[in-house]
């Protein structure tokens, strides 16, 4: 049997359960540094708008359904299919959608980190772009199932924010997991809606969350980079 380090992309794609590849990519152990970013939540806690499990659940639902959760899922689906100039256009769009310097760095730094590790593991040719664009392109090159990729991506996104809330609000572990479980129906619905990858449907209205990401840049004591 060939050593793991010499396995080809085709062997990885056909010889390994796609769910295992995706769970590895989206695990907290995969070195993208997601734990360092709160998506503006740290400011929301500082400002007194997120104070308990209920207010965090409302905030998380808003980010998922009306903010970058939905938009990033659509970008991922579009990038799963895209090649050439179309992929470049999606990379430009993803960067333009970041409302603040911290949010821009959040998505670009995770994209760079993911591209470096996934390319080394699977021999992929990945762009230097925002995280959902790079993740979608990697999943497309390995022909991983798009519906599963979308569900696990959104679940990981929500789980990372829940982890941040557990530390910041603070929430108990059980409270945090209860909020995450309540987000499951929205995650499933968003994954289905994003699957066509129609970039024309990207949009949202989360001005307070966008402002929080901008105000966080000048916050004094901070645990997170956004």
CATH class of the domain comprising 51-204: mainly alpha
The domain ranges of the chain are 51-204
CB burial string 30-69: b at 16+ within 10 A, e below = bebebeebbbbbbbbbbeebbeebebbbebbbbbbbebbb
Contact assessment for residue 58 and residue 176, using Cβ atoms and an 8 Å cutoff: no
Q: Could you tell me which of 58, 16, 45 has the C-alpha nearest to residue 216?
A: 45
Residue 3 banded pLDDT, cuts 50, 70, 90: very low
Burial category of 125 from C-beta neighbours within 10 Å (exposed 0-12, middle 13-18, buried 19 and up): exposed
For the stretch 90-138, pLDDT in tens is 999 999 999 999 999 999 999 999 999 999 999 999 999 999 999 999 9
For the stretch 24-73, pLDDT in tens is 999 999 999 999 999 999 999 999 999 999 999 999 999 999 999 999 99
Q: For 175-199, what is the mean pLDDT? A: 98
Residue 13 banded pLDDT, cuts 50, 70, 90: very low
Q: Distance between CA atoms of 168 and 224, rounded to whole angstroms? A: 10
Q: What local confidence, expressed as pLDDT, does residue 122 receive?
A: 96
Q: Distance between CA atoms of 156 and 42, rounded to whole angstroms? A: 19
Percentage of the residues of the chain whose pLDDT score is greater than 90: 88
Q: pTM here? A: 0.92
CB atoms within 10 A of CB 29: 6
Q: For 197-205, what is the mean pLDDT? A: 94
Q: Distance between CA atoms of 136 and 72, rounded to whole angstroms? A: 10
Q: Is the pLDDT of residue 6 over 80?
A: no
Q: Is the pLDDT of residue 208 over 50?
A: yes
- Can you give 119-148 as a three-state secondary structure string? HHHHCCCCCCCCHHHHHHHHHHHCCCCHHH
Contact assessment for residue 140 and residue 81, using Cβ atoms and an 8 Å cutoff: yes
What are the CA-CA distances from residue 93 to residues 41, 79, 135, 158 (Å)?
A: 24, 11, 15, 22
Q: For 144-148, what is the mean pLDDT? A: 98
For the record, the structure tokens of 201 come out as 């449907």
Q: Could you tell me which of 103, 90, 87, 93 has the C-alpha nearest to residue 42?
A: 103
For the stretch 63-91, pLDDT in tens is 999 999 999 999 999 999 999 999 999 99
Per DSSP, the residues of 55-108 read: HHHHHHHHHHHHSHHHHHHHHHHHHHH--THHHHHHHHHHHHT--SHHHHHHHH
Q: Distance between CA atoms of 131 and 111, rounded to whole angstroms? A: 4
């Amino acid at each position: 049997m060939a050593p793991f380090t010499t396995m080809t992309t085709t062997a990885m794609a056909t010889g390994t359960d796609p769910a295992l590849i995706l769970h590895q990519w989206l695990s907290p152990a995969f070195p993208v540094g997601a734990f360092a970013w709160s998506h503006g939540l740290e400011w929301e806690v500082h400002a007194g708008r997120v104070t308990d499990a209920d207010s965090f659940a409302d905030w998380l639902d808003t980010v998922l359904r009306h903010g970058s959760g939905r938009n990033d899922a659509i970008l991922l689906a579009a990038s799963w299919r895209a090649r050439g100039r179309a992929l470049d256009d999606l990379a430009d769009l993803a960067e333009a959608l970041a409302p603040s310097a911290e949010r821009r760095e959040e998505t670009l730094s995770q994209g760079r980190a993911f591209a470096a590790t996934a390319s080394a593991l699977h021999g992929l040719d990945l762009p230097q772009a925002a995280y959902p664009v790079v993740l979608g392109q990697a999943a497309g090159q390995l022909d991983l199932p798009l519906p599963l990729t979308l569900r696990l991506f959104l679940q990981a996104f929500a789980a990372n924010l829940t982890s941040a809330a557990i530390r910041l609000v603070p929430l108990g572990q059980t409270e945090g997991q209860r909020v995450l479980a309540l987000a499951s129906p929205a995650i499933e619905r968003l994954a289905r809606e994003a699957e066509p990858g129609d970039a024309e449907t990207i949009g949202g209205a989360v001005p307070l969350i966008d402002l929080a990401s901008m105000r966080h840049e000048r916050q004094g004591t901070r645990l997170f980079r956004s």
